Amino acid sequence: MSSPLTVTVAFTGASGMPYGLRLVECLLAAGCRVWLLYSQVAQVVARQEMDWNLPGRPAEVEAELSARFAAAPGQLRVFGREEWFAPPASGSNPPDAMVVCPCTMATLAAVAMGLSQNLIERAADVVIKEGRKLVLVPRETPFSAIHLENMLKLARLGVCILPPNPGFYHHPQCVQDLVDFIVARILDQLGVPHRLMARWGEEGADATPD
């Protein structure tokens, strides 16, 4: 029996916390193991966008989200920003994939430059050097030439740049439908099955494709 997919998910300080939290929920529901990292500014964004007081202690976050999403024991692990002995910090124990969602331009730039000043940046560096899947969900508009050059550099390394730009061909009825559209695209990149929305050509998808 194959081991469950292990995915590192990182929340940074860009707008878009609902995407990241829904992604964690869907990964756990699909039976994946999740290693969660989050920045200090992500705590501010969580409070601003979702009225969620994201605790500063990783153990509290782990307990809260494990209970909320009915995670199996050990299925969700949460690590601190300076927890250098955490599994994502070493190429000897890399995840199968990593998603930074939402991803700030500062984090994207740090990853493009190969910086490892905190666990999020180091974890991304490990995933790239070990040839694993890295998905960045950059939430900014408009993009400057600096942003675009950093994205191009990473794309040429095989990193998936997936801006949270929802389509409307599935006739969304609420904000959650728009969130699920993006999370579905992320899950597709990871090869994780889902039923968040109808596939193109299936019943319920009746407009222009992505």
Does the annotation place 92 within a ligand binding site?
no
Does the annotation place 15 within a ligand binding site?
yes
Does the annotation place 2 within a ligand binding site?
no
Spatial CB neighbours of 128, under 8 Å, sequence gap ≥ 6: 111, 134, 157, 158, 159
Separation of alpha carbons 192 and 33, rounded Å: 12
Does the annotation place 70 within a ligand binding site?
no
Spatial CB neighbours of 141, under 8 Å, sequence gap ≥ 6: none
Does the annotation place 8 within a ligand binding site?
no
Does the annotation place 169 within a ligand binding site?
yes
Say how many C-beta atoms besides its own lie within 10 A of residue 150's C-beta: 22
Separation of alpha carbons 179 and 22, rounded Å: 8
Does the annotation place 144 within a ligand binding site?
no
Say how many C-beta atoms besides its own lie within 10 A of residue 173's C-beta: 8
Does the annotation place 72 within a ligand binding site?
no
- Crossing angle of helices 119-129 and 105-113, rounded to 10°: 50
Does the annotation place 42 within a ligand binding site?
no
Which residue positions form the known binding site for dimethylallyl phosphate? 169, 185
Which residue positions form the known binding site for FMN? 13-15, 39, 104-107, 139
Which residue positions form the known binding site? 13-15, 39, 104-107, 139, 169, 185
